[in-house]
Amino acid sequence: MDRRTFLETGMCLGASFLVGCQPKDKSQQQKETMHHQDHSSHAAANQDDKKNIAVPYTYQSPLLEREKFPSHQPLQPLKPLLNQSNTTNSFEANIEVKPHTLSLVPSLQTEFFLYNGILAGPQIVVNEGDTVKIKVTNRLTQPTTIHWHGLPVPSKQDGNPQDAIEPYGSRVYQFKLPSGSAGTYWYHSHAHGLTSEQTYKGLAGSFIVKSKDDPLRDLPEQHWLISDLRLDENGNIPENTALDWMNGREGNFVLINGQLEPKITIKGTERIRIWNACNARYLRLKILDCKIIVIGSDGGLLESPQNQEELFLSPGERYEIIVETSTKRNTHLVLLPYNREKMMQAFEPETITLAEVTVSPLDKPIPQKLRELPPLETPQETKHIVYTEVMNHSEGHGHDDMQGMSAMSMQDLQNMFLINGKTYDMGRMDLTSKVNVPEKWVIKNDSHMDHNFHLHGTQFYVLSHELNGKVSKPDYKSLKDTINLKPYETVSIICKQQLTGIRLFHCHVLEHENLGMMAQLNVLE
Ligand code: C2O
Ligand code: CU
Ligand code: CU
């Protein structure tokens, strides 16, 4: 569907939204809220129940004002997940997944879902060659899984939706990290139909794999895990609106390590690892009056440092950088506007200050050679992936709340974002690959909005981008597991799965993933 038809169809659906959010009377509002909650509480048990849920377009209560949220505190490091093993080359720990109430805003309580009660997640740091054994206990009333985003772990250990940890159940995730896997990863919920909610409520954390031959091993490090939180004026985390489902959910607060506009001090040559752990927010980062030297991407170090003015991270991506300044200065880390062509929402170019930064000039040289990346192999197979959007409007759902088009049915939403014409089905294998065979994947975004592409189980190289007939190559070689696609852009990658089993691939705007813009690869012997 082209943009125009799309907008028109969208327009008739979203008319009330476009002309401004018409105030609904209280009883109607309550009905919507109740109706919604009713279903979502047992949605996990039966996905079909969800189909008839009416999802309102607008927020049910006003959002919390920025001034109320404490800010300008020194940036706190991410809290570590302590290694309880006393054998070498082994990491053992427990994670409890549970609802946890925090008071981030004075006099308001917010109920999150957290790993070990830690906002921005306990950080896991291990070495290449380590065996990792993590016991996860689920204390939620809904199933969950932990997916180790970007790590080459066996399929059965990778938190696929098929392998849910039931409410009050537990399991052990166990894997060994091969050499060459050093890098900046993360972990988050991948529960069927619940990834969006569980992640925006806090189920995400960082995961670093270190290597003994790292030339930057001795540099001081700091970590910026960027997440997105929506709080209403009562301190509650509201549910997704229909627009959140369509465009991906963004919050009214963009946080670093769980803090609003913290004070960051960069004392010289520091290795800074950055995560985009937002459900849907695209990050165009800039440190005003400074240069960014990129040293690593999703899958670890680059071959050599790369100078950039700004850094772009779509949801799920990571980078390692060093910040360069000619003189000591007080400046800001900002989020520049990025138009990802949301539906039914006009683009408002807005620059958001993420942190106050005091930065000093480099005090140690940066090695010009960081590492040798594995060579690009010749692909032996080619696969084609196409992202599309379809606006369905199933009539006659008989929803009271559909009157005045103040809501959309979950069913319509669930059939909106497709991969190769289909919505996700856990029981269906969409593609098969042979283990250890290099393949070229040609991914086309045949839709009017940005979507990114993430493949489980491996890192890949981007070969080329094609947009409006113009072909370009990446500026430098880097290992990636997530890559953005602008509207109508085609990206070609080369990848190779080194382990058998089911691997998911999807758009990492988690609402799209959750609605079914996801598919499965079966990797065979
Ligand atoms: Cu970080 Cu399947 O995702
Ligand atoms: Cu992943
Ligand atoms: Cu998407």
Q: Provide the residue type at 385 as one letter.
A: I
Q: Taking the mean position of all CA atoms in its chain, how far away is CA 143? A: 20
pTM value? 0.91
Between CA 443 and CA 488 the distance in angstroms is 10
Give the per-residue SS3 of 332-367. Answer: EEEECCCCCCCCCCCCCCCCEEEEEEEECCCCCCCC
Compute, in angstroms, the gap from residue 45 CA to the centroid of ligand 1.
Answer: 22
CA of 318 to the centre of ligand 1 (A): 13
For the Cβ of 149 lying below 6 angstroms from any atom of ligand 1, the answer is: yes
Ligand 1 centroid to 26 CA: how many Å? 39
Distance 303 CA to ligand 2 centre (A): 24
Q: Specify the CATH number of the domain 381-524.
A: 2.60.40.420
Is pLDDT above 90 for 21? no
Beta bridge partners of 461: 494
**Can you tell me the distance from the alpha carbon of 110 to that of 96, in angstroms, rounded to the nearest whole number?**
18
Tell me how far apart the alpha carbons of residues 484 and 451 are, in angstroms, rounded to a whole number: 6
Task: Let me know: does 94 contact 137? Beta carbons within 8 Å.
Answer: yes
Q: How many CA atoms lie within 13 A of 122 on its CB side?
A: 17
Q: Is 183 in the pocket of ligand 1 (CB under 6 A)?
A: no
User: From CA 55, how far away is CA 63, in angstroms rounded?
Assistant: 18
* Residue where the block lists tokens 């607060």: 253
Short-list 302, 121, 285, 301, CA closest to 202:
121
SS (H, E, C) 150-167: CCCCCHHHCCCHHHCECC
Query: What does the pLDDT read at residue 58?
Result: 87
Mean pLDDT, residues 233-243: 97
229 touches 281 (CB < 8 A): no
Q: In the structure encoding, which two tokens stand for residue 197, read together?
A: 């909610």
The distance of Cα 225 from the centroid of its chain, to the nearest Å, equals: 11
* Closest C-alpha to ligand 1, atom 3: 149
The predicted-structure confidence for 349-392, as pLDDT tens digits, reads as follows: 999 999 999 999 999 999 999 999 999 999 999 999 999 999 87
Assess whether the C-beta atom of 379 lies below 6 angstroms from ligand 1: no
Yes or no: say if 264 and 333 are a contact pair by the CB < 8 Å rule: yes
Ligand nearest to the Cα of 149, by number: 2
Q: Which residue has the tokens 């005090």?
A: 363
pLDDT in tens, 67-100: 999 999 999 999 999 999 999 999 999 999 999 9
CA of 409 to the centre of ligand 3 (A): 19
Whether residue 40 is predicted with pLDDT greater than 60 in this model: the reply is no
Q: Which ligand is nearest to the CA of 247?
A: 3
